[in-house]
Amino acid sequence: MMRTDLPPGDADVLTRLGQLHADIDARVQAIRAEAPAWLCGKGCGGCCRRLAAVPQLTATEWAFLQPALAALPSAQLSAIARAMAQLAAHAARPVTCPLLDQASDACTVYAHRPVACRTYGFYAQRDKGLYCGDIEAQVAAGQLADVVWGNHDAIDQRLAQLGETRALTDWFARWQASAAF
């Protein structure tokens, strides 16, 4: 684990990330309770296939995600490494996340996925709006009128306390270059 990338002198960042996950989960559960037919869920990988850019994550998120990658079967990790290298060399848009399992349309590290992936579809930012066309269609049809969206500005403020932000491909390349890979 690349603990040296965590904010210096702050041993509690992983605990803070866990609290952030718990708070997001609570909001997601509240939204699902209001709208049981909400589309998002493991196995709906549409957003993972049409990312505007390579996912960005903080040092703490990477420290949480990396052990899950390390635990994958070696053949799967090798395939991810090839996808990472292709993406780093030629980042055509939209981006398909190299951590998406194409067969199941599910994230290979779902329980350890970045915060941006946990909030996507459930949180809104006043100046950025919604990005999932499927959910936007539901909104346009008036199906989600009573939903109280999460506030992504507040999430960003908390992420700013969790260390430097880098692209997933950058974190992966740094790990690959280290003796731990």
How far apart, in whole angstroms, are the C-alpha atoms of residue 7 and residue 70? 22
- Of 11 and 90, CB closest to ligand SF4: 90
- Check residue 77 for interaction with ligand SF4 (CB under 6 A): no
* Nearest approach, Cβ of residue 17 and ligand SF4 (Å): 15
Would the CA dihedral through 118, 122, 127, 130 be positive or negative?
positive
Exposed, middle or buried by CB within 10 Å (0-12, 13-18, 19+), for 37?
A: exposed
Asked if residue 121 binds ligand SF4 (CB under 6 A), the reply is yes
Instruction: Based on the shown chain and the rule CB under 6 A, indicate whether residue 44 belongs to the binding site for ligand SF4.
Output: yes
Pairing status of strand 123-124 against strand 150-151: parallel
Minimum Å gap between C-beta 102 and ligand SF4 is 10
Sequence length of the chain is 181
Residue 120 or residue 171: which is nearer to ligand SF4 going by CB? 120
Q: Is 159 in the site for ligand SF4 (CB under 6 A)?
A: no
